[in-house]
Amino acid sequence: MHPYHHPLFVKFIVYFNQNQDYFECHEVLEDYWKSIPDSDKEHPLTAFILLATGLYHWRRGNSTGAYRTLRKAVKNFLTFISKNPTYTEEIDFKRLIHDVQNSINRLEKQLPFESISLIVTSSQLTALVESAEQSMELLSFESDALIHKHMLRDRSDILREREEKKKDRC
């Protein structure tokens, strides 16, 4: 199976392109990334995770975090494009890199948030995305639940895990 045909990557594309739910983009791709044996922060999926995170920060007004994260995403995209030809198929990377660079330029000029889309170039991946979209419940673009999602969810398990890690370091 092509890495982009994984159900979680397909969901990522739906969230990214259809309603710009960048928080969910991050969540589904992180689950996918963690399921891959021996995956590390150099894995190609991390560039997409960074892209979603950067756009989430930018839309919420965290320009500094967005700028830093999107620059890291571009660096990771360029690195893995040169090393992993499988990951350059099915998505228009030339356009993607251009659009992310444009977002970075807009951030430097302190311009408002502007979304981008992933251009799928494969009919097979397009069909998978269209099929998945039909079974997914998507929030509206302007929903506070979409824009401020990380603030509205129960984070007690995350906070508990952080505290445990702190104790382990001491």
Partners of 120 in the β-ladder = 91
Q: Is 56's pLDDT higher than 90?
A: yes
The number of domains in the chain is: 1
- Global pTM reads 0.83
Highest mean pLDDT among 36-45, 80-89, 143-152: 36-45
pLDDT band with cut points at 50, 70 and 90 for residue 159: low
How far is Cα 166 from Cα 170, in angstroms, rounded to an integer?
7
Write the CATH number for 36.
Answer: 1.10.3450.10
Average pLDDT over residues 7-29: 93
Q: Which residue type sits at 6?
A: H
pLDDT band with cut points at 50, 70 and 90 for residue 25: very high
How far is Cα 92 from Cα 113, in angstroms, rounded to an integer?
22
Could you tell me which residue, 138 or 158, shows the higher pLDDT?
138
Q: What is the pLDDT of residues 81-121, one digit of tens each?
A: 888 777 788 999 999 999 999 999 999 999 999 999 999 99
Residue 92 is part of which domain span?
3-169
Average pLDDT over residues 118-132: 95
pLDDT at 166: 73
The answer to which of 32-41, 83-92, 121-130 has the lowest mean pLDDT is: 83-92
* Cβ count near 97 (within 10 Å): 15
